[in-house]
Amino acid sequence: MSPDQFFQQLETQGIILTATQKQQFDNYYHLLVETNKVVNLTAITTEGDVYLKHFYDSLTLAFALPELQTASLSLLDVGAGAGFPSIPNKIVFPQLEVSIVDSLNKRINFLQELATQLDLQGVAFYHERAEDFGSKRSPHRQSYNVVTARAVASLPVLAELCLPLVQKGGYFVAMKGSKGVEELQQSEHAFHVLGGKLVKSIELTLPETKDKRVIIIVQKTKETPKTYPRKPGTITKAPLLGDELK
């Protein structure tokens, strides 16, 4: 997907970018590729693949949750790596207040440099483990309108990392590949325990490659018990599965 094809695809969604926004994506691409030579940020580096599999793919978040396109919401991206999906959404929908938490400081350094070069306002970056970021003592706990993650962990694990950070009435949005439907079947117990309720699951395919994507939207309906998230390591070793799935 060339940059022009990317812009045209967005226009089919009713999204028309300014010259400044187009330049921001171009600068994003070039800084990503240059930094990736010394810091492992992504295996995807050709221009067409970055525009399709990183930039466009990231924006499917706002296709699935249209409130992100117009409302002044706080969006937290857990384990964003090189800034996906939150930074492309910030570029296109600048009214969003975007925060990113990542456990690797090299990625945070890249994101800070990226925000400076793209002149992004209303962004914050945190070098911390998600388990600690959402703990009962953290000021970030249950404070975001939308918490998302892309390609971080299995859905039951992801739910325990993300739902404690969502404010009541807000949304946890998981961006998954073709295994998303299967993982969703394993996650009902985790959603219930953590105070979430499945709103909908949206299946779509990327242009050109037809790669399958599953976007899972969970609303926070009650407060997460203070015992969650559990300690680092425990969540992946013993995910919140119902008895019938253990």
Q: What is the pLDDT of residues 102-154, one digit of tens each?
A: 999 999 999 999 999 999 999 999 999 999 999 999 999 999 999 999 977 89
Band the pLDDT of 243: cuts 50, 70, 90: low
The annotation status of 84 as a binding-site residue, yes or no, is yes
Of 52, 50, 8, nearest in space to 33 by CA: 50
Q: What is the pLDDT of residues 18-68, one digit of tens each?
A: 999 999 999 999 999 999 999 999 999 999 999 999 999 999 999 999 999
The annotation status of 130 as a binding-site residue, yes or no, is yes
Q: Does domain 3-245 match CATH 3.60.21.10?
A: no
pLDDT at residue 244, rounded to an integer: 47
Q: What is the pLDDT of residues 150-179, one digit of tens each?
A: 977 899 999 999 999 999 999 999 999 988
The annotation status of 11 as a binding-site residue, yes or no, is no
What type of residue is 211?
Answer: D
pTM score of the predicted model:
0.94
